[in-house]
Amino acid sequence: MIKRRIMRKKGTSLLMVVLTTLTVALSGCSSDKAGDSANSSQETGAGTDTVTSTQTADTTADTQAATTEADDLSKLIVGIPQDIDGLDPHNATGAGTREVFYNIFEGLVKADENGNLNPAVASDYTISDDATVYSFTLRDGIKFHDGSAVTVDDIKYSIERNMGVDGSEPLIRAYSKIDSVNIVDDSHVDIVLKEADSDFLTQLTVAIIPAANEHPDTTPIGTGPYMYVSNSPQENFIVTRFDDYWGEKAYIKDVVFKIESNMDAIVMDLEGGSIDMMARVTSTQANQLSDKFEVYEGTMNLVQALYLNNDVKPFDDVKVRQALCYAVNPQEIMDFVSDGAGTEVGSAMFPAFTKYYMPELNDTYNTDVDKAKELLAEAGYPDGFEFTITVPSNYGQHVDTAQVIAEELKAIGVTANIQEIEWNSWVSDVYSDRKYEATVVGIDASTLSASALLSRYVSDAGKNFVNFKSDAYDAAYANAQATQNDDEKTAFYKECETILSQEAASVYIQDLPEFVVLNKKFTGYKFFPLYVQDIAAIKPAS
């Protein structure tokens, strides 16, 4: 009897537990939101304080800001998904950190929104005919944020710091190619390479910082349009306009980068006014926003593809790979995954590289199920086959894309099983060990050169995780590297892209869409072919 009563209690208590868990889970959600909005209102409160105080300073000192009518337009709050990983520009590795630092630091050259490298700290440069000596002229009158003039010693110091001259590993791998940095005179510096590299300019966007600054990890000083004010870990990173900037000065005076770690709260924070701008929101989030916001649509600058391991059966047969290309319809994928947004790619080059991108390759394989079946039959798989797509589980778009592909391949009798895998395992199993059949990911470029995307397809390249092998490709790529003539180089790179398309190295799909949301009080957002946010270009909408 006693036992039974205890048991009954246990049973009811279990019911209670289930119900309380549910209640707690549900109320957990709502209390979270309450907390968030409380937070954000607090912050907007604090925000208005700063605005008003800077405003008074503005009206007296800065006539330019006074002409930009509405008061709160001198401040922009930008949401960023993660905290910056350090204040030293040379040691910061996170892409999210680099996109913020683009506004504070500049290199000898600086990328613009079209993918061109323009002189920045240097006013001019020449490259010797054999591409081993890069000569730079220091921009006249350029100043650091602390007011001191930039000198050639600062340039030498900054480049050498990245080379690791003190015996440490170079911070940038390509800098091991540098033989020496020579100061010619007060305004000229030569960078001498050990071997010819006509693409080396793309590496010279690295920040120039003052040699005199003993604590670059706590007091960041650069030459960019904005200068550092303060940062609070996991909260924000504040910058203000640098009025002695050498180029076109920024429009907005104060910019706060606010860390938005809770991606689910973005829509509410935008609507509530605690942030004015957020990059890389999903199409679902963008659709939920009211008309107070402008949604800019660009591309993420990566090549999303169904990457096939060219070493394993049946993908070692070019006909099988081509058959998959005919069966997969990129437009349909875009319709399902991102409401039709996105840009088709036909080879390993994304559209932002206008110089190298070849839109005609998108038509190498127009969806044709019969043709695909024919090719499969010729390859000896008239009844199709089965394979596994390994896809990193943290990338929703890639998982969704894999699902659409699996559905599309059913039409040609090919069964694609999807295996989700955690990101670190993906990097080790798929990317490093190449133990996979197929995978869906996006590959981006680390520098502004075509070789950043194309070098991985060279037969013996360490990054060649698709195991693509083609003598014609290797030859074309070597030619592109060898020539100094820009037109010839471009032609050879284009030949490389054409070979990838014809040989169907992988099933190239699209450059994923990127949505940036900006409050309509502001305008002028620009997309870059690199992972940066150019805040200096944003201005109040008049």
Partner 1 sequence: MKKISFKKIIKDPYLAIGILIMGLVLLMIIVGFFWTPYDPTKMSASEKLQGISLRHIMGTDNMGRDVFSRVMYGSRVTLLIAMGTIIIGAGLGTIIGAVTGYYGGVIDEVAMRIIDALFAFPSILLALVIVSVFGVGWMQLVVSLGIAFVPSFARIVRGEVLRCKDMDYIQNARLQGVGSLRMIFVHILPNIKGVLASSILIGFNNAVLAEAGLSYLGVGSQPPYASLGRMLSDAQQYMFTRPSYVMCPGIVIVLMVLGFAFLGEGIKRWE
The distance of closest approach from Cβ of residue 510 to partner 1 in the complex, given in angstroms and rounded to an integer, is 15
CB-based contacts of 468-477 (< 8 A; 24+ apart in sequence): 468/310, 468/500, 468/503, 468/505, 468/506, 469/310, 470/499, 470/503, 472/499, 473/499, 473/500, 473/503, 477/451
User: Under the criterion CB under 8 A, does residue 420 sit at the interface with partner 1?
Assistant: yes
Burial class (CB in 10 A: 0-12, 13-18, 19+), 9: exposed
* Shortest CB 394 distance to partner 1, Å: 8
11 binds partner 1 (CB under 8 A): yes
In the set 312, 418, 461, 541, which binds partner 1 (CB under 8 A)? 418
User: With binding defined as CB under 8 A, does residue 406 bind partner 1?
Assistant: yes
Which is nearest to 515 in space by CA: 251, 256, 277?
Answer: 277
> Among residues 8 and 463, whose Cβ is nearest to partner 1?
8
Residues 239-268 that bind partner 1 (CB under 8 A): 264, 267
Helix and strand counts by DSSP (H, E) for the chain: 14, 21
Q: Binding to partner 1 by residue 182, rule CB under 8 A?
A: no
Q: Which is nearer to partner 1, 281 or 302 (CB)?
A: 281
Site residues (CB under 8 A) for partner 1, limited to 191-210: none
Burial zone of 160 (CB within 10 Å; 0-12 exposed, 13-18 middle, 19+ buried) = middle
Other Cβ atoms within 10 Å of 281 Cβ, number: 22
Residue of 309, 343, 403, 498 that binds partner 1 (CB under 8 A): 403
- Least Å distance, CB 104 to partner 1, is 33
Using a 10 angstrom Cβ sphere, with 0-12 exposed, 13-18 middle and 19 or more buried, the burial of residue 25 is exposed
Distance in Å, CB of 39 to partner 1, minimum: 20
Residue placing its CB nearer to partner 1 in the complex, 366 or 425: 425
Smallest distance, partner 1 to C-beta of residue 391, A = 9
**Taking a C-beta distance cutoff of 8 angstroms, is the pair 541, 522 a contact?**
yes
Report CA 326 to chain centroid distance, whole Å: 29
* Cα gap 504→284, rounded to integer Å: 32
**Shortest Cβ 445–partner 1 spacing (Å):** 28
Residue placing its CB nearer to partner 1 in the complex, 224 or 392: 392
Q: Which residues of 449-468 are buried (b: 16+ CB within 10 A; e: fewer)?
A: bbbbbbbbbbeeeeebbbbb
Instruction: Determine which helix (DSSP H) or strand (DSSP E) holds 400, and give its type and residue range.
Output: helix 396-409
User: Which one of the spans 121-129, 269-277, 398-406, 454-462 is the region binding partner 1 (CB under 8 A)?
Assistant: 398-406
**Residue 12 or 93 with smaller CB distance to partner 1:** 12
Taking CB under 8 A as the binding criterion, the range among 62-70, 122-130, 174-182, 418-426 that sits at the site for partner 1 is: 418-426
Q: Which is nearer to partner 1, 91 or 282 (CB)?
A: 282
Q: Which long-range contacts (CB under 8 A, 24 or more apart) does 240-243 make?
A: 242/145, 243/62
Q: Which range binds partner 1 by CB under 8 A, 15-23, 91-99, 372-380, 457-465?
A: 15-23
Is 175 in contact with 160 (CB distance < 8 Å)?
no
Under 8 Å CB-to-CB from 108, ≥6 apart: which residues?
119, 120, 121, 122, 125, 136, 155, 204, 205, 208
Does 18 engage in binding with partner 1 (CB under 8 A)? yes
Phi, psi of 92 (to 5 degrees): -75, 130
12 vs 50, which CB is nearer to partner 1? 12
Measured from the CB atom, the residue of 123 and 288 that comes closer to partner 1 is 288
The continuous run of DSSP H or E covering 152 comes out as helix 152-163
Sketch the per residue contact string, 75 through 114, with partner 1: x for CB under 8 A, - otherwise.
----------------------------------------
Instruction: From 145-153, 206-214, 401-409, 490-498, give the range in contact with partner 1 by CB under 8 A.
Output: 401-409
Q: What is the DSSP letter of 466?
A: T
Query: If we measure between CA atoms, which residue out of 532, 527, 524 comes closest to residue 250?
Result: 524
Contact string 282-321 vs partner 1 (x = CB under 8 A): x-xx-xx---------------------------------
Q: Does 22 bind partner 1 (CB under 8 A)?
A: yes
Q: Compare residues 438 and 535 and give the one whose CB is closer to partner 1.
A: 438
Specify the residue, 4 or 173, whose C-beta has the smaller distance to partner 1.
4
Pick the binder of partner 1 from 62, 113, 190, 400 (CB under 8 A): 400
Distance CA 308, CA 508 (A): 10
Write down the least CB distance from residue 482 to partner 1, Å.
45
Window of 83-91, 139-147, 160-168, 400-408 that interacts with partner 1 by CB under 8 A? 400-408
Alpha-carbon span 93 to 449, nearest angstrom: 19
State the minimum distance, in angstroms, from the CB of residue 81 to partner 1. 15
Contacts of 335 (CB under 8 A, 6+ apart): none
Where do contacts with partner 1 occur on this chain (CB under 8 A)?
4, 7-8, 11-12, 14-15, 18, 22, 264, 267, 282, 284-285, 287-288, 332, 335-336, 393-394, 399-400, 402-404, 406-407, 417-422, 425
